[in-house]
Copies of this chain bind each other. A is one copy, B any other.
Amino acid sequence: MAVTIQQIADLAGVSRGTVDRALNNRGRIRPEVAERIKGIAKELGYQPNMAAKALSTANHALQIGVIIQYAETPFMKAVLEGTEFAKEEVERFGGHVFVECIHGGDVKKLLKTMKDFREAGVKGIALVPTDDELLKKTINEFVEKDRISIITINSDLEDTKRLCFIGQDSYASGRVAGGLMGEIIPGDGKVMILSGSQENVATMERTRGFLDELEHHYSRIKVLEPRYAYDDDWVAGKLLKEQLEETPDLAGIYITAQGESGVCDTLKKYRLEKKIKVIAHDYEGENRENLKKGIINFILRQNSYVQGYESVMELFHTLCGNPTRQGEFWHTDIVIKTRCNL
Contact = CB atoms under 8 A, between A and B. Distances in A.
Interface stretch (A91-99, A110-118, A120-128, A229-237): A91-99
Contacts of A256: none
Interface stretch (A28-36, A49-57, A70-78, A263-271): A49-57
Given A2-B91, A89-B322, A176-B338, A297 B183 contact: yes
Contact of A2 (B47, B94, B322): B94
A322 B175 CA distance: 40
Interface in A130-175: 172-173, 175
A273 interface: no
A89 B333 CA distance: 21
A336 interface: yes
Interface in A277-295: 294
A306 to B, nearest CB: 9
Contact of A213 (B2, B51, B54, B340): B340
A244 interface: no
Interface in A237-264: none
A340 B183 contact: no
A262 to B, nearest CB: 24
A176 B94 contact: no
Interface of A: 1-2, 47-52, 54-55, 58-59, 89, 91-94, 172-173, 175-176, 178-180, 183-184, 213, 217, 294, 297, 317, 320, 322, 333-336, 338-341
